[in-house]
Amino acid sequence: MVKIKGTAKLLPPDEDIEVLITSQFADYLSPEVRAVTVDDDGLLTGISTDPKEYDAICRVIQYSKLRELDRLGPGVDLSSYKDESGVLQKVAFKFNPIAKVRRLRMAWDEINLLKSLPPHPNIVPFDRVVLEDVESRVIGFTTKYIPGGTLENTEVPLQFEWMKQLTELVDFLNLELGIMHQNIAPRNLLIDPDTNKLSLFDFNWAACGKKCLMDGRDDVTGSFLSLYELITNDTHFTRIPHWERNMDMVQGIPEWPCNRELDSDVSTFRNFVNEWVATRKSSGDMERYLNAPSQLTWPNQPTPPDYSMPIEYGKTLDGETVCKTGLRSKLTAVEKGQYVFHWEREATPEQVIEEG
């Protein structure tokens, strides 16, 4: 498999034309090629044989190889596995057992976004796609496990450098990649104890260009409200529905009561973030976001092949059976003999002590 890299002009997010582009020169590429870069006319401008390019697309692991260590939250486990070299890896396993149409789309987009992101010191690294063992269906993904905890822990002293890292990361995501995280909050900001750097995670609400973009969830507002919450421990404003809140609610407060240990004065934090907000909220910011030079792209969510099997929906007044295709319940799928992955497991996991 070869990764195609180009701009959103050639590779619009809502269209899947990578195969057509690749077919022009696929027969001339060495088997060692892992990625190609094309210009806006679809012409080849560069190739890469870096195995990491391939890994970003194809690294997978079977669900049976994951060992559950703990449950970090709804749909997130702390797990471990041994990699191809026999080295024990500790990861966060994220999955979505709720078969709602919107949740499935969000899971598809998050996996594709994370595996497409370039490595960044302030983003929790993507690890592998998790497949169930019978039909190799995608059921989730893993990321590097960072044990430092999130900034939601009010006992963690807030460092000014972390806010600089956050604003720089937001600028990179928004203005370089055309990605809007849309869920920036203290609970999604980890501190890596090995590097003392801030790391952002949880991209399931992210927008790519106009796709899934929502009012009131922009990253500038999210970062500003997060800073207020981090300094004051006041969660009132972040609990307000995003369509009803704005930065003015917080910017207009003359004094922010400091209820957390800081490495700089409150005024230092506020002055810095106010200057950043003024820059980002200037005219043309949305246009810069929508026309980001390295906007990411990925294919649309495919229709599961199971949905093509007709299921009985009811009967007409004349007694004729009415059938339909598409989404069906787990019970119906089982009755039709279709394979269903079972999420059921013990309510309280066994506490595992890792050796070595």
Contacts of 175 (CB under 8 A, 6+ apart): 288, 289, 292
Does the pTM surpass 0.85? The reply is no
pLDDT at res. 265:
97
Which residues does 213 contact at the CB level (< 8 Å), separation at least 6? 180, 182, 207
3-state secondary structure of 85: coil
Per-residue pLDDT at 281 exceeds 70: yes
**Is pLDDT at 352 greater than 60 in this prediction?**
no
The mean per-residue pLDDT over the stretch 53-67 comes to 78
Residue 356 pLDDT > 50: no
User: Confidence band (pLDDT; 50, 70, 90) for 54?
Assistant: very low
pLDDT at 38: 82
Under CATH, to which class is 59-144 assigned? Answer: alpha beta
Q: What is the mean pLDDT of residues 76-89?
A: 94
- What is the pLDDT, as a whole number, of residue 192? 96
CA distances for 327 relative to 81, 288, 297, 309, 344, angstroms: 33, 38, 26, 10, 21
pLDDT for the residue 79: 98
Q: What is the mean pLDDT of residues 27-54?
A: 72
End-to-end CA gap in the chain: 35
**Rounded average pLDDT over 220-240:** 94
Going by their DSSP bridges, the two strands 321-324 and 311-315 should be labelled as: antiparallel
Least confident of 34-43, 91-100, 123-132, 173-182: 34-43
Q: Where do we find the tokens 């309510």? A: 347
CATH number of 160-290: 1.10.510.10
Instruction: Give the pLDDT mean for 145-153.
Output: 95
pLDDT at 234: 96
Non-local (6+) Cβ contacts of 104 within 8 A are 96, 301
pLDDT of the residue at 298: 85
CA proximity to 267, closest of 223, 233, 222, 231: 231
Question: Domains of the chain: which residue ranges?
Answer: 3-56, 59-144, 160-290, 305-335
Determine contact, residues 123/169, Cβ cutoff 8 Å.
yes
DSSP three-state, residue 225:
helix
State the amino acid at position 309 in one-letter form: M
Which of 18-27, 126-135, 345-354 ranks highest by mean pLDDT?
126-135
75 secondary structure, DSSP code: T
Residue 50 carries which DSSP code?
-
Alpha-helical regions (H) of 64-210? 101-116, 160-171
Is residue 14 very low, low, confident or very high in pLDDT (cuts 50, 70, 90)?
Answer: very low
Asked if pLDDT for residue 353 goes beyond 70, the answer is: no
Beta strands in 245-355, from DSSP E residues, in sequence order: 311-315, 321-324
SS3 call for 161: helix
Of 1-10, 56-65, 190-199, the least confident: 1-10
Has residue 26 got a pLDDT over 50? Answer: yes
Q: Does residue 8 come out as left (phi exceeding 0), alpha (psi in the -120 to 50 range) or beta?
A: alpha
Tell me the C-alpha distance between 209 and 291, whole Å: 8
Higher pLDDT, 216 or 167: 167
